[in-house]
């Protein structure tokens, strides 16, 4: 199976071949086209070799030079084009057939950028349905930040082999690892146990995590805190952050963590769902109480 990078390189090569063909069909040299677009000829060569993606602004200029619809040029260059659903949505505000392609594209992109749901990569009815491969990719791929903000976090050790060694390795690689758990003796924990009414209690699950961290010992780069002043806001929501991606579990009613609705988020904009959940996690962390393994 081709990797994401290989897929991207394939799209760039296809786009570059199309651009070169269109230029040659019109009897233009690379220098000619570069002059008309007011860019360096080296840049045109790089586009045609598939080294770079053609920017949207250049695509619009190419459409004018080649006398082709903007949508056609964008599609051939592998750039985003509006789907039929996008066009249908726009019909509530204007007739797309009356808009020039460049205005149509600009309007739809503007609306798309204002949407917050585009940061939601996927929704899982239960946390247990999040693929193991996704957890592994997020953990292994983190280069600067890991925040495990589950109220118990115990499942990392029961479901991921050698998880303590993984945390140690990430910390040694310079990743800031933070673990936020509930205090097993806190009144919020006791109330949650009454709500769940499960034999495998919340405090037991927390102590499993603390036992594993005690075995791991103090590691530079790994910090652990009990949620304290904001514990009520923590027990109902788990936030697991890995750089610019996160998994967020919403604990509804008496469901245990593994049965909670879980969102996979990826940061694409300021103040979107990702930023808001991260701000919530930082709020919980700031109100936490430090805990150190003996």
Q: What is the pLDDT of residue 99?
A: 55
- Distance (Å, whole) CA 201 – CA 194: 9
Q: What percent of the chain has pLDDT over 90?
A: 62
Number of domains, the chain = 3
Q: What is the pLDDT of residue 268?
A: 82
> What tokens were used for 159?
């479901």
Regarding whether 262 and 146 lie in a shared domain, the answer is yes
Regarding whether 124 and 107 lie in a shared domain, the answer is no
Q: What contacts 34, CB < 8 A, 6 or more positions away?
A: 40, 41, 43, 44
Regarding whether 286 and 221 lie in a shared domain, the answer is yes
- Distance (Å, whole) CA 237 – CA 257: 9
Other CB atoms closer than 10 Å to residue 84's CB: what's the count? Answer: 7
Q: Which of 110 and 28 is assigned the larger pLDDT? A: 28
- Distance (Å, whole) CA 190 – CA 251: 16
Regarding whether 137 and 16 lie in a shared domain, the answer is no
Q: Which of 98, 114, 130 represents a domain boundary (last residue)?
A: 114
Regarding whether 189 and 72 lie in a shared domain, the answer is no
Rounded to 5 degrees, what angle do the CA atoms 273, 225, 170 make?
Answer: 75
Regarding whether 272 and 173 lie in a shared domain, the answer is yes
Of residues 36, 43, 105, 48, the one with CA closest to residue 77: 48
Quickly state the pLDDT bin for 2 (edges 50, 70, 90): low
Quickly state the pLDDT bin for 80 (edges 50, 70, 90): confident
pLDDT above 70 (res 148): yes
DSSP string over 69-113: -HHHHHHHTT-----HHHHHHHTTTS-GGGS-HHHHHHHHHHHHH
Regarding whether 209 and 283 lie in a shared domain, the answer is yes
Rg of the Cα trace of the chain? Answer: 25
Regarding whether 175 and 102 lie in a shared domain, the answer is no
Other CB atoms closer than 10 Å to residue 138's CB: what's the count? Answer: 19
pLDDT above 80 (res 227): yes
Cβ atoms of residues 282 and 145 within 8 Å: no
Regarding whether 215 and 126 lie in a shared domain, the answer is yes
Residue ranges making up the domain that contains 219: 120-291
CATH number of the domain residue 42 falls in: 1.10.260.40
Provide the sign of the torsion angle of the four alpha carbons 78, 84, 86, 91, taken in this order.
Answer: positive
DSSP string over 127-185: GGGS-HHHHHHHHHH-SSEEEEE-SS-THHHHHSTTHHHHHHHHHHTT-EEEEEEE-TT
Stretch 207-233: mean pLDDT, rounded? 94
Regarding whether 140 and 63 lie in a shared domain, the answer is no
Q: What is the pLDDT of residue 108?
A: 54
Regarding whether 248 and 174 lie in a shared domain, the answer is yes
Q: What is the pLDDT of residue 249?
A: 93
> What tokens were used for 228?
């304290």
β-bridge partners, 181: 226
Q: Alpha carbon 30 to chain centroid distance?
A: 38
Of residues 86, 27, 16, the one with CA closest to residue 58: 16
Q: What is the pLDDT of residue 56?
A: 84
Distance of CA 46 to CAs 19, 51, 52, Å? 11, 5, 6
CATH number of the domain residue 284 falls in: 3.30.870.10
Stretch 210-230: mean pLDDT, rounded? 94
Stretch 223-248: mean pLDDT, rounded? 94
Regarding whether 199 and 95 lie in a shared domain, the answer is no
Q: What is the pLDDT of residue 151?
A: 95
- Distance (Å, whole) CA 201 – CA 15: 57
pLDDT above 70 (res 193): yes
């Amino acid at each position: 199976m081709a990797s994401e990078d290989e897929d991207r390189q394939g799209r760039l090569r296809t786009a570059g071949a199309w651009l070169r063909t269109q230029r040659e069909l019109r009897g233009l040299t690379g220098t000619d086209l570069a002059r008309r677009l007011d860019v360096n000829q080296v840049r045109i060569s790089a586009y045609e070799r598939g080294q770079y993606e053609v920017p949207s602004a250049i695509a619009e200029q190419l459409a004018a030079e080649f006398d082709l619809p903007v949508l056609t040029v964008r599609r051939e260059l592998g750039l985003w084009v509006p789907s039929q659903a996008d066009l249908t949505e726009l019909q509530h505000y204007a007739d797309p057939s009356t808009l020039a392609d460049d205005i149509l594209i600009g309007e739809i992109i503007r609306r798309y950028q204002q949407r917050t749901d585009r940061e939601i990569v996927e929704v899982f009815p239960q946390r247990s349905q999040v693929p193991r491969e996704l957890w592994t990719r997020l953990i292994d791929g983190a280069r600067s930040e890991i925040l495990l903000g589950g109220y118990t976090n115990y499942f990392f050790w029961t479901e991921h082999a050698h998880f303590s060694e993984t945390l140690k390795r990430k910390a040694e690689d310079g990743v800031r690892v933070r673990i936020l758990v509930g205090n097993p003796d806190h009144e919020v924990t006791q109330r949650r146990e009454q709500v769940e009414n499960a034999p495998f209690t919340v405090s037991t699950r927390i102590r499993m995590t603390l036992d594993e961290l005690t075995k791991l010992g103090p590691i530079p780069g790994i910090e652990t805190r009990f949620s304290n002043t904001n514990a009520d806001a923590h027990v109902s929501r788990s936030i697991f952050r890995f750089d610019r991606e996160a998994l967020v579990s919403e604990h509804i009613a008496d469901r245990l963590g593994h049965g909670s609705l879980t969102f996979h988020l990826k940061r694409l904009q300021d103040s979107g769902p990702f930023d808001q959940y991260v701000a919530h996690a930082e709020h919980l962390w700031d109100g936490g109480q430090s805990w150190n393994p003996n």
